[in-house]
Structure 1
Amino acid sequence: MNSTNTSWTETLYNIWVVGSKDIVDALKPKTTLINIVVVLALLVFFYWILSVRPFDKGVDVVVVPESGSSTFEDDIDLGDGVLIRFFPVSSVEEMRRSMGYSNLGLVVPEGFDAALEAGEQPVLTGYVNWFQRFKISELENQYTEQFSLALGQPVCIAIQGESIIPRTGTLGNEAAVAFHLVFVTFFMVISIVPFLMLDERKTKTMEALLVSPLSVAEIVLGKALAGMFYALVIGAGWFLLNHMYVVNWGMALLAFILIALFSLGISLLMGSLVHDRIKLSLYNLPVTILLIVPAFFAQESNTASGFRAYLEILPTAALSRLMNASLSVGITGIDLLKDLAISLGFTVLIFAAVVWLIRRSDR
């Protein structure tokens, strides 16, 4: 038992030695620092364009006219770029399913038109999406002011405390935010790890590691640890900015770890196969396009059958779906297991290929 514990302790120590060295070495080239700054800038930019959206003053409202009211049939232009667009539905349940990119769900009660004509201040029941739940008071004031201005007399928008949690597979901010994490994590790791391996070949560090008492698996895991450090940096930034979207934290963290591991596997594979900096830079682009760009359409149902079949087995699309599942409810057990199997299966195969390639280069 003691020898087993010692063996594990020594293995973990060896992995830590390789990983900690690579974490520091990765920061030495200026290009790495530039890449980190670029990815962090992309992180903030995507948050700004998806969640803050200061340029979009429009208000999309899904309306349930319980009284048959016709007040909210036509769009209302308040000027200064503020346009209130109405999308009528027949029930609250349909409204919940239709929120998507909309800002507000609104239930028009019985007697609303009569209350307006009598000069009273009617109350409208409002619903907002899950990610807006921390701004209910602010949104109540904003929408009350806008609708009072639109109708020419005071009305009250009372937003329910029960926010609308999106369903898995529906299009909305959540799908884009999930893809955003896949993109920035992959981009961060593939911008650092392969080039670190390239530099180690030039300085003969890799050769020194291969003739050291370290096993190939320890070397690979050490490099994965270094890449994981930078993946965690970008992941922490993503969760800090987008925490309001998360519904299931356990699944969100699991999905992120799988995203990071897959990104590390691809990056280590690229670093093992390509030994020229210019070629590596050139090959990174098509790899990113083939793996990452299609994942943007992971939640899109209106795609060609051939492309849909590709998305079904693409690991990055599976990872995007897993992350989206943590930002929503309703994923089936079969779909969850399928996406987990695809993600884990490809990741294990890629790491096995990396170990084989490095072991082969040692001969």
Structure 2
Amino acid sequence: MKASCVRAIVRKDAIMAMRNKLVLMALIGGVLFSLIYYALPASVEETYALGLYDQGDSELISTLPLVSMGGFTLDEVSSEDELTRMVQQGDYVAGIVVPDGFDEVIESGETPTLSLVVGPDVPSGTIDSLAYIIQTALDYAAHGTPPVQLSTEVVGEDMAGAHVPLREQSIPLYIVLALMMEMWTIATLIVEEGASGTLRAVLVTPATPSDVISAKGIVGGSYSLGVVAVILLLTQSLRGDPLALLVGIVVGALFAVTLGLLLGSLTTNITGSYIYVSVPMLVLLLPALVVLIPDVSLSVIKLIPTYYLVNAFGSILNSGAGLGDVWSDFLLIAVCALAFFVLGVLSLRRRY
């Protein structure tokens, strides 16, 4: 590897990227990701907010929030129509309609009927949970003792009151998106240079495939670092262990750039490169997208390298993890980056 050749190629690629407005596009992407961040919920609701229309001023119903052990809160409304409207608007997760004479029916030993009003997008699991909490609380309020004595043991760290909001959970997604965009950019540049003959002309000089890939890695890595820094600054997410965060960004940038170089070296057909790049890109985004899908846990996701990048960034930014806690994740990503670098060099040598 010749340092002079690497410097010359770095200068050429940097100028080309600025002329093609790739830097501007990457920065705009970082700003857009930051806007999405601020559109997501900034807090986690651990209790259900319910609307209540009580036709008979039930004393039992008024005690429900006290005996539900914080399971839900009740806000009384003036009519059933208003309750239905507010549930449809999403002001309440659900609403309870209490018939007139509800307390008297319970005192007589009969079984009254409560109406639970829910929106069309409320999961069935949430409906079942609400029904169970309300029924258990009513049994407690009516008879004075709970139906069972439940002992709860939390295995691991108790996250009650300390759940991470979706807004903060989404940060690793934006970082991986930025890195995958850079991967796409690097792959496209390689294909365009191969199709135009520029790459062949460079390799006719004393520059070797290792020089070419190293230079493009420096340029792509620098742009990746810049975009990720913009995202972290705009979302005010520069927190956690600084060293672990810096190592993660550098390793992630190397992973994205070397993979982009490898994919770009596989073809000189610009149209064909879209398939070579888009399919791996979608697969690599899956671990980050799973963050936005509640209660989903797929073990197959752990077979995708970016899972370990997402896991490491999430641990650093949201759980206070240090480099000693996530070094194994970074090591796996670094090994993948090294493998992509070697394969990219071999692919360029075979082609040119």
Structure 2 residue corresponding to 1:320, chosen from 305, 310, 323: 310
Structure 2: runs of 5+ lacking an equivalent: 49-64, 77-85, 95-132, 134-151
- The Cα RMSD (Å) is 4.0
Distance 1:257 1:81, change over 3 A: same
* Distance in 1, Cα, partners of 2:157 & 2:27: 43
- Residues 1:99 and 2:154 aligned together: no
SS at match of 1:214: coil
Q: For 1:273, which of 266, 271, 277 is the aligned residue?
A: 266
Structure 1: distance between partners of 2:34 and 2:159: 29
Structure 2 CA distance, aligned partners of 1:37 and 1:277? 24
Query: Residues of 2 paired with 1:213 and 1:75: CA distance?
Result: 73
**Corresponding residue number in structure 2 for 1:185:** 179
Aligned pairs for 1:223-234 (under 5 A) are: 223-234=216-227
1:346 partner letter: C
Counterpart residue type for residue 207 of structure 1 = R
Size of the alignment, in residue pairs? 269
The letter of the residue matching 2:255 is: F
- Structure 2 match to 1:60: 45
> Which residue of structure 1 aligns with residue 214 of structure 2?
221
In 1, Cα distance between equivalents of 2:307 and 2:196: 37
1:28 pairs, out of 19, 40, 56, with: 19
Which structure is larger by alpha-carbon Rg, 1 or 2? 2
Query: 1:203 and 2:196 equivalent?
Result: yes
Contact 2:175 2:228 in 1 (8 A): yes
Equivalence for 1:357: 347
Normalised by the size of structure 2, how large is the TM-score? 0.63
Number of the residue aligned with 1:43: 33
Check conservation: 1:76, 1:83, Cα contact below 8 A.
no
SS at match of 2:216: helix
Alignment of 1:1-363 (within 5 A): 11-29=2-20, 32=22, 35-36=25-26, 39-50=29-40, 60=45, 74-76=72-74, 96-101=159-164, 172-187=166-181, 189-244=182-237, 246-297=239-290, 307-308=298-299, 310-329=300-319, 336-362=326-352
Q: Which amino acid aligns with 1:278?
A: T
Unaligned runs of 5+ in 1: 1-7, 103-171
Letter in 2 for 1:228: G
Q: Specify whether residues 48 and 243 from structure 1 end up closer, same or farther in structure 2 by C-alpha distance, changes over 3 A only.
A: closer
Once the two structures are superposed, residues 127-161 of structure 1 have per-residue CA deviations (whole angstroms, 9 ceiling, x without a partner) of: xxxxxxxxxxxxxxxxxxxxxxxxxxxxxxxxxxx
- The CA distance in 2 between the partners of 1:303 and 1:72, in whole Å, is 26
State the Cα distance separating 1:236 from its structure 2 match: 1.7
1:97: how far off?
4.1
**TM-score, normalising length: structure 1:** 0.61
